Every structure is written in C-alpha cells, then in structure tokens.
Amino acid sequence: MKPEAPPCPRSGEGHVRRVGVEIEFAAIAPLTAAGLVQENYGGKIRRLSPHRIKVVDTRWGDFTIELDAKYAHPDAKVIQKAEAKGSEDEWSHLRLELHNRTRELIGDAVAGIVPTEIVCPPIPWLALNELDLLFNALREQGARDTRDSLLYGFGLHLNPEVSGTDTATLLAHLRAYLILAEWLREEIDIDITREVLPHANPFPKEYALKVLDPDYGPDLDTLIADYIEANPTRNRELDLYPLFAYLRPDYPSEYLSDELVKPRPTFHYRLPNAQLSQPDWSAVAEWNRWVEVERLAADPERLAERGVDYLEHHRRSSVTRWLERLKEWMKDT
C-alpha cells in the first residue's frame, strides 16, 4: 500500500511534510524491539535505563523504545538532585541506587500489562510505507496487539506536520475532523477496550456545534481558550495540546505546560488501533484515512456545506443517521 498525497504535500517552509508515528504492543521487550529497529534502519543502540532504549543515528533520526509506564523509568528530577550533591555524598548515592532499582522492578512487574512503545522520528509522508519493514518484523517476533486481550487497549498515533500554522488553517482541519470523526471510528473499528479506556475520547457534542457554527471565527488565543475549556484532558482522539504548546509556549495554562505535552508543529491523532496481527494493516492505512480530513479541510466550499449539514443533523437527529450520511459522501469522494 502506498501513502496517498495530502492536498499540501509540503510544509510552509517548503520541505516534504513529515509524520511522527508511535505504536504500542505487548510481548516484546524494549531491548528486543530496539534490535529490530536497528536491523531495519541502522543506527546505534543506547540503553538509557532498563526499560528505555534509544536507537540513534538511523536514516531518519532517533527512535525511542520504552515501556509506556511513567514509574518504570528513573525520575530525571531525582537523578539531577543526586548529581547536584556530588558523587561523594554516600547517602544520596544510595538513595539514587535504590530509586533506580525500584523503578526497574516496577518495570519488570508491569511489563506484561503495559505496552512497549516505539516512538519513531519524523518521517517524510512519502516514506511511511518503509515502516512496513519494522511492523512485519514485530509481527514475526510475536508482538501482540489490541485485539489479543481484553486488557490491551493499544493504539497507533500519527503526528502529521501541519501544512500551515495560521488560525484559519488550524480551524479548517479541526472542523474537518469533527465532521468526519464518526466515519473514521467506523472505518477503524475501534476496539471495545479502547472505547472504554479514556485514551482517545470523542469531542463533546456541544464543542463540535460551537466550532462548526459558521459565525465562529476565533483568533489563536480564543481557539486555544475554547479548546481548553471544552477539553480539559490530553485524551482526545485529536489532541491539539502539543500544537498549541508549540505555537504559544507562554500561554498561561497548566494543560499546555504539562510535562507530558511535547510541543511540536503537528496534529496528535490518537484514534487508530494498533493491529499488528493483521498483515494488511500498516501506518499507511491510517495515514490514508487521515488524508481524507486534510482533503475536506482544503476544500472551503465543501467544508462549509458539510458543516451546515452537521449542525442541522446533530440539532435534530441521531448520530446513526449522520454516520449513514457520511458513508454516502465518502463513496462519492
């Protein structure tokens, strides 16, 4: 499968737009997964801690492979505090040793429950199909995915670089996503575990109605403020906190300054399942679905028409009827 071209294949700076990819899975330890990355893309393995590995200097940059559990890794603040006291402070040295060992044991204990995550460096969208090498290697190694257990709610996250950072462009993409969200969920067939867990929740209906109102024309700060008020969580299917934190690093909000929010000029698309057990599934399949959002965003007339239809339907009709309407539209595109 080849990645489909977005309406704006290049960034505002003129380079081919890039996409960050994050994939979660079980049954393969971080060090083993790092070896698969190195086998396919080169680079050098650097062990940062027992459950966090980097593969540096690959053809695209650095991969990070880790257990997706905060307390499985040493706390940087604890390490910095110990280092500041110096190596001759025996008590601080012992506390640091105990801290590191405790975190390692926590990681060992949760390794079968929490996923291993590979965070890929930004890759040109044209090269997304080259990730098939890694995904196939993970399958052959026995990686387990979302559908292998009711305990698993693993996802694949895409971080498409934005085509522009002006408010009109951001608003158009948000509107397009809100319109197509039900179709995307239907196409992806969201796993029941991920539906129950709060990692990729839908946007509130009231927020969608506000944003899709033709009279809604915010500046950037208003767009951010309205988003935070309606979505006081990172766990949205399309998380805009990393983008807003990049655009407005001094914005006075705890949500944008959260240490888990990584500022970057991308949309953080959290919806897709990780489906490594299906040979025909890949990052390209999810990228091609995402491109439909960008195509709608790039067509102002169609976007406005679909927005009005959304408002009419959701003010008087059920979501099911809206989904049927979406399916009809997508057949015609």
Q: Give 251-274 as a DSSP string.
A: ---HHHH-TT----SB-EE--PBP
Which whole-number Å values give the CA distances from 210 to 169, 178, 204, 231, in the listed order? 17, 11, 10, 13
Which whole-number Å values give the CA distances from 123 to 15, 159, 240, 293, in the listed order? 12, 10, 20, 20
Q: What is the pLDDT of residue 107?
A: 47
What tens digit of pLDDT does each residue of 166-196 get?
Answer: 999 999 999 999 999 999 999 998 876 676 6
Q: What is the pLDDT of residue 311?
A: 95
Residue with tokens 């239809």: 309
Strand partners, 116: 25, 67
CA 146, CA 144: separation in Å to the nearest integer? Answer: 7
Q: What is the pLDDT of residue 172?
A: 98
Pick out the chain residues at pLDDT < 50: 99, 107
Residue with tokens 């080169």: 42
Strand partners, 49: 52
Q: Are 69 and 107 in contact (CB under 8 A)?
A: yes
Helices and strands: H and E segment counts in the chain: 13, 9
Mark 34-68 as b/e (b = at least 16 C-beta within 10 Å): bbbbbebbebeeeeebbbbbbbeebebeebbbbbb
